[in-house]
Structure 1
Amino acid sequence: MFLLRFLLCLLIFVGALAATGALMLCLLLMLRFPPLLLVVGLACWILSRVLRRLFPDQRKPS
């Protein structure tokens, strides 16, 4: 049981490191190539507009 828990924690740690590395690589690429930063910002803006149209009731205070 201890070995299984250890392997699970190790897998979670390696996954967290890989996710952090991928995020840092994406940030580095966006800072290195400014058009990529523009494209990501535009994609986020379009996604927020689409989500507002799909779920309009989420923005109303209750």
Structure 2
Amino acid sequence: MSAIRFFFLLFVFIGIVAACAVAILLSVLMLRVLPVLILVVLSCVVFWWLLKKAGTALPPG
């Protein structure tokens, strides 16, 4: 049982590290390539608009 828990936590740790690496690489890519930055901002605006339309958006501020 301890080995199963160890492998589970190992995969969780690897997933967290991979997600952080992707976030850092995407941030660097956004700074180097302007269309990627525009796409990310546009996708955030569309997501906010969909949340607002669904009535679950957070108030600004």
Using the size of structure 2 for normalisation, the TM-score is 0.78
Q: CA deviation at 1:43?
A: 1.6
Structure 2, unaligned runs of 5 or more = none
CA offset digits 1:4-59 (Å, max 9, x no partner): 11111111111111111111111111011122112211121122112212x23766
Name the larger-Rg structure. Answer: 1
CA RMSD between the two structures:
2.0
Q: What pairs up with 1:13-24 in 2 under 5 angstroms?
A: 13-24=13-24
Question: Is the CA contact (8 Å cut-off) linking 2:31 and 2:37 kept in structure 1?
Answer: yes
Instruction: Write out the 4+ residue segments of structure 1 that deviate beyond 4 Å after TM superposition.
Output: 57-60
**Higher helix proportion, which one?**
1
Structure 1, unaligned runs of 5 or more = none
